[in-house]
């Protein structure tokens, strides 16, 4: 442990000795004191905020308080637990000690008197409590135990702790836990060799941010830098790893984020979530900064879908209470333009045409409405048509020339419509996906697939069904779509697809929590380009920025993440910063499709 002024380090271990080092010159640490008194191993040490007192715990089931303002002197021994005391933490005021023991309990103590204040049972049963940490504000305690549970407790009244949040089973066992100094993050690590990072900006809601793998053995220690920008982990694999938290590249809603749509000039993107909101975000060097939330039409309104105009600073947002075209010229203060886009049922899908003159909306009743939005403040209904109300139409897409509208009807087919004359839409023959994609076998029989997602670039259409298949089609002749190639996928079903603006890449969010990116320059032979890990639950939203190399994603884990998917640039950065050798197998894993090269 470091002293608050950073000039002293306390170190202890198996020999039962606590050593104090002067690290004023970090290159030449000097041992300045040895403290003995514990019987057996010393498990934890921590300084008080004034740096004059050191608290330690050990295998002998005790907590010891030492005055180190001069020669080290034992102030107090607390007979704390019925088994070794593995973890201790002090609140910022330096008045309360929290201790975690292999007897399964976490206890709070008055530092000044040694009095026992309360006992927390974070893991009922025969589970050991290994980890405990105070939040910087001193009112919250986090605990971790061998059953993998991470719990948050309100200890505003230290004699009466109240559990306020819980996350179970994220780690095989939790041996270490720490809050970032700014109070925004909590990190836990343990027997599954990973570090789980949580967003605790609202302590009542533990939001998983990411799970970081890489260690090959049990993780025993985690710590944040004073500015909360870096985190260090250590394990019994003899490795210490440093993580730049700026690269977590996520933002969040409070519930599943269903859809994303990017401004075609790359200045912002929009998201819609089951938390009932539509938000605008500013991408900032691989990070998403929330700009604003579109005003709700009623206090309990629920957002359904969103789409960004391709030419103007206009966003269409559909909610249970109504549909609004918003002027977002000032993205911090969206201004309502019109509620004229109406129907008999809520709008669940919407898409602007590429020229921005038309808006297609899908009502839950199965009616597709076509609206002239040349003047977004005064939209005019130009036409409509109905589709069989067997399943809800969750997605509508315009072809590159805006003459064809493709709808995924949620059954087993794609419907293509000629909308060159919106007043008189004309249906083309349906494209039955069962004939083109491998069906899932249900109950021993081939079942019909639901078309989950469709996306178009120019005359090339990509779609995927509720299996794990995806396909590319040439729709230059909408009456006779022509099969091109298949998106190779050995993972979970594809939830949502997105083309890069230049049409060379297709990205897909999946049910197995990853994003897959294919190179489709040869549409007859798409090649998997990258697999992006970071989401902790299924991925629903994907959207490219205009630069073709930035991707934003979202999903059930409530986060919005920003990725740099320029594999060549990533490989170059690795080459420029390491002398390590990568085997051909490792190279192909990390940089699929990139020619191996000697590292710098």
Q: Which helix (H) or strand (E) holds 585?
A: helix 584-590
Query: Nearest 10 degrees: CA dihedral of 410, 414, 419, 422?
Result: -20
Q: Mind listing the pLDDT tens digit for each residue in 459-510? A: 999 988 766 778 999 999 999 999 999 998 888 888 889 999 999 999 999 8
47 vs 322: CA distance, rounded Å: 57
User: Is the CB of residue 81 less than 8 Å from the CB of residue 101?
Assistant: yes
pLDDT at 443: 25
| Measured distance CA(268)–CA(327) in Å, rounded | 13
Element housing 590 (H / E): helix 584-590
DSSP annotation string for 111-155 = TTT--EEEEE-SSTTT--EEEEEE-TTSSEEEEEETT--EEEEE-
Residue 27 burial (CB < 10 Å; 0-12/13-18/19+)? exposed
Q: What pLDDT, on the 0 to 100 scale, is given for residue 127?
A: 75
Please give the pLDDT value at position 571.
Answer: 64
> Alpha carbon of 341 to those of 100, 218, 300, 387: distances in Å?
59, 57, 21, 19
- The confidence score (pLDDT) of residue 439 equals 32
Q: Are 214 and 241 in contact (CB under 8 A)?
A: yes
- Stretches where the chain sits below pLDDT 70 are 123-126, 168-172, 213-214, 246-252, 285-287, 389-391, 409-412, 432-452, 466-467, 567, 570-583, 586, 589-591, 597-600
CA distance 43 to 55: 11
Whole-number pLDDT of residue 169: 53
Most distant CA atoms of the chain, gap in Å: 92
- In what helix (H) or strand (E) does residue 569 lie, and over which residues does it extend? helix 567-577
CA distance 420 to 166: 54
Residue 410 confidence (pLDDT): 63
pLDDT at 582: 64
**pLDDT number for residue 442:** 23
| Spatial distance between the Cα atoms of 116 and 103, rounded to a whole number of angstroms | 16
Q: What is the DSSP letter of 26?
A: T
pLDDT of residue 458: 93
What is the reported pTM? Answer: 0.65
CA–CA dist 290, 252 (Å, integer)? 9
* Residue with the two structure tokens 């201004």: 335
């Amino acid at each position: 442990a470091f002293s608050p002024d950073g000039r002293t380090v306390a170190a202890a271990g198996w020999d039962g000795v606590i050593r104090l080092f002067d690290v004023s010159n970090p290159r030449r640490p000097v041992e300045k004191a040895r403290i003995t008194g514990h019987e057996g191993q010393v498990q934890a040490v921590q300084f008080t905020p004034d740096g004059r007192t050191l608290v330690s715990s050990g295998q002998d089931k005790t907590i010891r308080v030492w005055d180190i303002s001069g020669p080290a002197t034992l102030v107090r021994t607390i007979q704390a637990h019925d088994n070794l005391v593995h973890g201790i933490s002090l609140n910022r005021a330096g008045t309360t000690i929290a201790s975690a023991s292999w007897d399964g309990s976490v206890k709070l103590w008055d530092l000044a008197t040694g009095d026992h204040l309360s006992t927390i049972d974070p893991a009922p049963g025969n589970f050991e409590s290994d980890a405990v940490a105070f939040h910087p504000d001193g009112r919250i305690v986090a605990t971790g135990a061998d059953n993998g549970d991470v719990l948050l407790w309100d200890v505003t009244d230290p004699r009466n702790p109240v559990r306020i949040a819980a996350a179970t089973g994220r780690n095989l066992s939790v041996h270490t836990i720490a809050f970032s100094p700014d109070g925004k993050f909590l990190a836990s690590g343990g027997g599954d060799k990973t570090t789980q990072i949580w967003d605790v900006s609202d302590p009542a809601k533990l939001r998983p941010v990411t799970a970081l793998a890489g260690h090959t053995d049990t993780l025993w220690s985690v710590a944040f830098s004073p500015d909360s920008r870096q985190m260090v982990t250590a394990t019994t694999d003899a490795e210490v790893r440093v993580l730049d938290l700026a690269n977590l590249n996520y933002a969040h809603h409070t519930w599943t984020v269903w859809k994303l749509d990017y401004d075609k000039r790359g200045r912002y993107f929009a998201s819609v979530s089951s938390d009932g909101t539509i938000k605008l975000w500013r991408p900032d060097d691989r990070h998403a900064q929330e700009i604003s939330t579109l005003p709700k039409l009623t206090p309990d309104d629920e957002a359904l879908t969103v789409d960004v105009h391709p030419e103007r600073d206009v966003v269409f947002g559909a909610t249970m209470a109504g549909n609004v075209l918003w002027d977002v010229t000032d993205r911090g203060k969206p201004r309502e333009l019109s509620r004229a886009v109406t129907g008999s049922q809520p709008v669940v899908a919407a898409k602007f045409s590429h020229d921005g003159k038309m808006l297609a909306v899908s009502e839950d009743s199965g009616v597709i409405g076509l609206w002239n939005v040349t003047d977004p403040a005064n939209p005019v209904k130009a036409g409509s048509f109905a589709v069989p109300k067997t399943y809800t139409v969750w997605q509508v897409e315009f072809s590159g020339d805006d003459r064809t509208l493709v709808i995924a009807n949620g059954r087993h087919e794609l419907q293509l419509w000629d909308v060159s004359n919106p007043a008189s839409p004309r249906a083309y023959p349906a494209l039955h996906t069962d004939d083109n994609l491998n069906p899932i076998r249900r109950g021993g029989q081939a079942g019909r697939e639901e078309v989950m997602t469709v996306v178009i670039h120019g005359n090339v259409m990509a779609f995927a069904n509720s299996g794990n298949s995806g396909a590319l089609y040439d729709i230059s002749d909408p009456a006779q779509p022509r099969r091109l190639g298949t998106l190779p996928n050995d993972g979970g079903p594809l939830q949502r697809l997105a083309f890069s603006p230049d049409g060379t890449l297709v990205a897909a969010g999946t049910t197995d929590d990853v994003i897959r990116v294919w190179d489709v320059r040869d549409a007859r032979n798409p090649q998997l380009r990258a697999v992006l890990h970071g989401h902790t639950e299924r991925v629903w939203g994907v959207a490219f920025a205009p630069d073709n190399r930035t991707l934003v994603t979202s999903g059930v884990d409530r986060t919005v993440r920003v990725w740099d998917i320029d594999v060549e640039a990533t490989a170059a950065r690795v080459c420029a910063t390491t002398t390590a050798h990568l085997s051909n197998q490792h190279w192909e894993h990390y940089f699929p499709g990139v020619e191996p090269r000697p590292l710098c």
